[in-house]
Amino acid sequence: MTSLLHVDSSACLAGDSVTRRLTASFAEVWCRRHGTSGYRYRDLAADPVPLVSHAYTTLGRRVERHGVVPLARVAAMAAGPAEEREWALTLPLIRELLAAGTVLVGVPMYNFTVPAALKAWIDRVTFPGAYVDPATGISRLRGTTVVVVAARGGAYGPGTPREGFDFQTPYLRTYFRDLGVAEENLHVVQAEMTRAGDVPALARFRELGDRSLAEAYAAVSALAGEGEGDRAFPQALGARP
């Protein structure tokens, strides 16, 4: 079944959040095309993922010493109630990610990087060996499409004064690639200068911000309108830096 996991991480409510509006636009187009039965939504700000604990890292190290362990065997390796609780919190999130044909992630830039709510989710779902097929050694996310929808109050693209301050999209590209997502299946849509309309110091860039947002809406609509099965996601959408 065609499926979409929609993840938002902005602390702002929908009306104030550029990433929430953009991901909602993607989801609307996607559901209109594929229906809602395969749609799953996770709001990391409204329903935060607990930070990993000592019990989580202890269990993870124990599992890692045994190589690639099938998910069904991890519970039996938990030593005590604390580790059992950590795995009970973790396994549903991993399964949710593995079940998705497309993963849509809304990511505002907070202090040059990703929100803590998203980082907590990343830290928990990235359990040792969870995305490696034990039989082949190939990533189970190789065929998964990931769409990162990023927003930044200023400008951080090539040639801008703050180009080197962007620890948001390079981090996410590196993370999902390392998890095994194929390069051709990883898409980043960026809206820049989103604060130009309300921050006086950025007012002169309002036209640039409006144009960037319009391009982002066009990009998410085009990406959502393409089917997962045909592997025909467009590459020339202005969605890559």
Binding-site residue set for FMN: 10, 109-112
Q: What pairs with residue 171 in β-bridges? A: none
In this structure, how many other beta carbons lie within 10 angstroms of the beta carbon of residue 93?
Answer: 16
Binding residues: 10, 109-112
Residues 6+ apart with CB under 8 A from 79: 58, 59, 62
Tokens standing for 43?
Answer: 């709001």
If you write DSSP's letter for every residue of the chain in order, what string do you get? ---EEEEE--SS-GGG-HHHHHHHHHHHHHHHHH-STTEEEEETTTSPPPPP-HHHHHHHHHHHTTSS--HHHHGGG--SHHHHHHHHHHHHHHHHHHH-SEEEEEEE-BTTB--HHHHHHHHHH--TTTTB-TTT--BTTTT-EEEEEEE-SS--STTSTTGGG--SHHHHHHHHHHTT--GGGEEEEEE--TTTTT-GGGGGGHHHHHHHHHHHHHHHHHHHHS-TTTT---S-SS---
